[in-house]
Structures are given as C-alpha cells and as structure tokens.
C-alpha cells in the first residue's frame, strides 16, 4: 500500500451519514513510568445470512483499548472510513463529470473510554500485552505518521486463489490492518504479546494477473480511452455509495452477480485503475487467524 506525502482536503461533495470520530481527542502524553494495559477489541459489524451462497458471515470491526495504571483512565483507538464503507468501495457517478468521483479516506480515531458493553456483548475485550508510558508515547508518534501518509481505505484483498500461499495482487487497507500495524509497532518497541488466538475478517476477490489500465487523467481525460471509460462507468453504475451497512451488502451481492456472470472487476487502488480477470470462487469473506506479532527488541516486563 503506497504512502502519500499528505492527506488531501476533503471535497464538500463527500458527506458522511455519521460524523467521523465525533468524540475524538488528541492522544495524551503518558508519564514514562506508567504501566499501560493494551486490549484487543472486536465486535460484529452486522451478522446476516444470504441464502446458502455465503452462509453465516463474521464481518468484524477491530479496535485497540488502553488503560493507564497511574490515572485509571481508559482509551479506545480505531481506524475507519471518513464517509462510511460504501463511499470507500464505490464511486459516485456525477452528472457532467466523466470520471467516477471517489469519497474515499480512512483515518485513526482516538477517544477516552472503552464501551465495555459493546465489545463484550457479542465480541471480544481481552488483554493482549502491557507497555510502558514511553512505549505508548512512541506509538502515538507513529500513529500520527501512519495517519498522515496512509490515507485511502481499501475494502478488497485481491489474490490469485484461495490457497494460503497464493499470490496477493492487492492488499486491503482497513480497520483490522491498522490494528495489526499497531500491534507490530508495539512489538518492535518491545511489547511481549500473550499467546492467544486472534482472528480477522477479510473480503477477498480472486483474479488472474491484474491488468493496469491507467489513472483518472489517462482514461477519462481529453486524450482518454472513451470505450474503457464507458466500461468502467457501466461497471459502477448499479452501486450507491451513500448507504447503510445493510444496503452496502445488498450492493456487494450485485457485484458478485456481475463478477460471476462477466468474470470482470474494475479496481481503483492508490489512485489507479486495474482490470481484474476474475476466476472462481470469485469472492470470499473469511474470518481467519492472524497471530499476534513477535517483536524485534528486548522485552519489557509483562
């Protein structure tokens, strides 16, 4: 996933259904000698059934919690879409504009408190490691960097086959990836993680080798490829970016339908368009184990 120099200003056209990070606050500076507990937080986004096609899906949202021993305060940190999931996955086809218009950014949100009931009710709230105040402050610096340079949300993982060792053409960049990066950063700073099973959701598309098509200017600009531009617009036509999570999944199944019938998918990734020659099983939503990281430094007492 490409890093960018800065986060672009958001276009006023992009309106969120829910305010991003409404109670967000700056990450506090912890006292160096503080001992901070780190919690893994996970809860279902929405559980649903869709005939026998995909059975019962575990679409989970991930976050990380912190508790300071010195102050007793709790904090939650998560990463999600600025304009909700539909906008990160589907563009707007605006009248008078040739190119599809994307309202796609993701960012970290940090706020005081952990909503225990939400995470415990049908999810996870479990202690994974303990860190010092110094490590927490170093992590906070890293979060700032990560946030300023990793700006686009990416819903899809694209790989060659369901095989575990299969080539990954494109990696997703969403809430769980941020949590995994945060854990890795803490491990690199010396955190020692408990040996517990940790699972994450991935939405995976299966494709032969992707074909590079170009960027917005080269496809939709004055010198662009009119046929290709029309095909991309046509592909995105059935989808509505402004929508609830439930409507998003209805659109997801429209995509599956098109992809399976036509064996094609147009992917917009890091501001570039790619054609994916789709192949069976086309799309899978998996919930699989990703182990907690092992650090590269000497450990801090747990």
Tell me the mean pLDDT per 10 residues along the chain, length 302.
82 84 92 97 67 54 96 95 82 89 92 90 90 97 94 92 92 93 95 93 92 95 92 85 69 76 88 93 86 68 40
What is the pLDDT at residue 252? 74
Of 258, 157, 263, 257, the C-alpha closest to 204 is 157
Q: Where are the beta strands (DSSP E) in 31-186?
A: 35-44, 60-68, 74-81, 106-112, 124-132, 156-159, 168-170
What is the pLDDT at residue 299? 46
Chain segment 179-225, per-residue pLDDT in tens = 999 999 999 999 999 999 999 988 899 999 999 999 999 999 999 99
Rounded to an integer, what distance in angstroms lies between the CA atom of residue 117 and that of residue 123?
A: 9
Chain segment 251-276, per-residue pLDDT in tens = 777 777 777 778 889 999 989 999 99
Domain ranges of the chain: 35-203+284-289, 211-280
The pairing of beta strand 156-159 with beta strand 199-207: parallel
Residue 43 — φ and ψ, nearest 5°?
Answer: -150, 155
Rounded to an integer, what distance in angstroms lies between the CA atom of residue 186 and that of residue 293?
A: 9
Asked if 157 contacts 205 with a C-beta cutoff of 8 angstroms, the reply is yes
Instruction: Tell how far CA 74 is from the center of its chain.
Output: 24
Angle at 253 between CA 252 and CA 259, to 5 degrees: 90
Just list the catalytic residues: 61, 175
Residue at token pair 């829910």:
18
Asked if 60 contacts 98 with a C-beta cutoff of 8 angstroms, the reply is no
Rounded to an integer, what distance in angstroms lies between the CA atom of residue 177 and that of residue 220?
A: 32
Number of other residues whose CB lies within 10 A of the CB of residue 235: 18
Rounded to an integer, what distance in angstroms lies between the CA atom of residue 295 and that of residue 186?
A: 8
Please give the model's pTM, rounded to 2 decimal places.
0.87
Six-digit token string for 183: 């854990």
Of 64, 121, 78, 81, the C-alpha closest to 293 is 64
Six-digit token string for 217: 């200017």
The pairing of beta strand 272-289 with beta strand 264-269: antiparallel
Residue 92 — φ and ψ, nearest 5°?
Answer: -90, 135
Rounded to an integer, what distance in angstroms lies between the CA atom of residue 240 and that of residue 230?
A: 18
């Amino acid at each position: 996933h490409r890093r960018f120099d800065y986060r672009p200003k958001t276009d006023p056209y992009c309106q969120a259904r829910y305010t991003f990070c409404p109670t967000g606050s700056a990450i506090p500076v912890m006292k160096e000698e503080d001992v901070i507990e780190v919690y893994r937080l996970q809860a279902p986004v929405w559980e649903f059934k869709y005939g026998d096609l995909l059975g019962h899906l575990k679409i989970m949202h991930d976050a990380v919690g912190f508790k300071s021993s010195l102050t007793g305060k709790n904090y939650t940190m998560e990463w999600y879409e600025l304009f909700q999931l539909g906008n990160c996955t589907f563009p707007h086809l605006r009248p008078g504009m040739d190119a599809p218009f994307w309202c796609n950014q993701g960012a970290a949100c940090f706020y005081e408190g952990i909503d225990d009931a939400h995470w415990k009710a049908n999810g996870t709230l479990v202690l994974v490691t303990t860190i010092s105040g110094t490590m927490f402050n170093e992590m906070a610096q890293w979060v700032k960097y990560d946030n300023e340079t990793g700006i686009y949300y990416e819903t899809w993982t694209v790989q060659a086959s369901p095989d575990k060792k299969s080539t990954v053409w494109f990696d997703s960049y969403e809430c769980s990836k941020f949590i995994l990066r945060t854990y890795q950063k803490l491990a690199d700073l010396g955190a020692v993680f408990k040996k517990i099973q940790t699972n994450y959701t991935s939405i995976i598309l299966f494709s032969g080798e992707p074909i590079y098509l170009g960027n917005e200017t080269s496809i939709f600009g004055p010198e662009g490829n009119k046929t290709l531009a029309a095909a991309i617009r046509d592909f995105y036509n059935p989808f509505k970016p402004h929508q609830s999570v439930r409507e998003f999944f209805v659109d997801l199944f429209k995509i599956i339908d098109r992809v399976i019938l036509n064996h094609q998918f147009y992917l917009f990734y890091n501001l570039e368009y790619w054609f994916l020659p789709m192949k069976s099983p086309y799309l899978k939503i998996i919930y699989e184990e990703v182990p907690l990281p092992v650090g590269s430094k000497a450990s801090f007492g747990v």
